[in-house]
Amino acid sequence: MRVGIEKLRVYPCSMALDMDKLCAARGHDLADIRDTMMIDQRSVNPPYEDPVTMAVNAAKPLLSDVDRRSIELLIVATESGVDQEKPISTWVHRYLGLPPNCRNFEVKHACYGGTAALVMAASWLASGLAGRGKALVITTDQSRAHFGKPYEFVMGAGAAAMLVSAEPRLLELELGAAGYYTNEVSDLTRPTSRVETGNSETSLLSYLDGLEGAYEHYVERVGKPDFTKIIYHTPFGGITFLAHKELLRRDTSLSNREAWRHFASRSLPALRYLRRMGGTYSSSTFVGMLGMVDTAEDLSPGDRVGIYSYGSGSCAELYSVLIGHQARTVSAEAELGALLDQRYPLTVAEYESVERERDTQIDAGDYETSKTGYGDWYDRHYRDRGYLVFHGMREHYRQYGWS
Q: What is the CATH number of the domain that holds 280?
A: 3.40.47.10
193, part of any domain: yes
- Quote the pTM value: 0.97
pLDDT value of position 252 = 84
Give the pairing type, strands 304-311 and 229-232: parallel
CB-based burial label for 282 (10 Å; 0-12, 13-18, 19+): buried
Using the 8-state DSSP alphabet, how is residue 320 labeled? E
Beta strands in 38-183 (DSSP E): 41-44, 71-77, 103-107, 134-142, 157-165, 171-182
pLDDT value of position 44 = 97
126, part of any domain: yes
Calpha distance 224→98 (Å, rounded): 42
Same domain, 383 and 315: no
Calpha distance 6→62 (Å, rounded): 10
Residue 190: domain span? 176-326
Cβ partners under 8 Å of residue 349, min gap 6: none
State how many domains the chain has.
Answer: 2
Give the chain's residues under pLDDT 50: none
154, part of any domain: yes
pLDDT value of position 251 = 82
pLDDT value of position 230 = 98
Which residue(s) pair with 4 in the sheet? 165, 172
| Backbone angle region of 176, left / alpha / beta, with phi > 0 → left and psi within -120 to 50 → alpha | left
Same domain, 226 and 301: yes
For residue 90, the surrounding DSSP H or E stretch is helix 88-95
pLDDT value of position 245 = 95
- Which residues are designated catalytic? 79, 111, 233
Using the 8-state DSSP alphabet, how is residue 251 labeled? T
332, part of any domain: no
Cis peptide, bond prior to residue 314, ω within 30 of zero: yes
Same domain, 239 and 303: yes
Same domain, 160 and 213: no
Same domain, 145 and 8: yes
222, part of any domain: yes
Cβ partners under 8 Å of residue 344, min gap 6: 14, 15, 16, 374, 375, 377, 381
Same domain, 27 and 153: yes
Same domain, 16 and 107: yes
Same domain, 69 and 110: yes
Same domain, 319 and 265: yes
pLDDT value of position 171 = 98
Contact by Cβ (8 Å): 319, 120: no
Same domain, 235 and 299: yes
331, part of any domain: no
Contact by Cβ (8 Å): 96, 60: yes
Same domain, 289 and 313: yes
Same domain, 107 and 206: no
